[in-house]
Amino acid sequence: MSYQRIKELPVYRQALSLRTMSREIASFVTHNKDLLTLAKSHSLRDHIADSLLTDAILIPQEIARAEGTSSVQIRQRCVHFIQVMTQNLNMYCRGLEHDGVREREYLDLLRSEVKHFRRSFKKWRKGLLE
Helix, strand, or coil here: 71? coil
pLDDT (0 to 100) of residue 31? 67
Name the CATH code of domain 3-28+40-128 (choices 1.20.1440.60, 3.20.20.450, 3.90.1150.10, 1.20.1440.230).
1.20.1440.60
Which of 37, 60, 58 shows the shortest CA–CA distance to 49?
Answer: 37
pLDDT (0 to 100) of residue 44? 87
pLDDT (0 to 100) of residue 32? 59
Task: Give residue limits of the domains in the chain.
Answer: 3-28+40-128
pLDDT (0 to 100) of residue 120? 96
CB-count exposure of residue 63 (10 Å: 0-12, 13-18, 19+): buried
Listed in sequence order, the residues at least 6 apart from 78 whose beta carbon sits closer than 8 Å to its beta carbon are: 62, 63, 65, 66
Averages of pLDDT over runs of 10 residues in the chain (130 residues) are 83 96 90 69 86 96 95 96 97 94 92 96 90
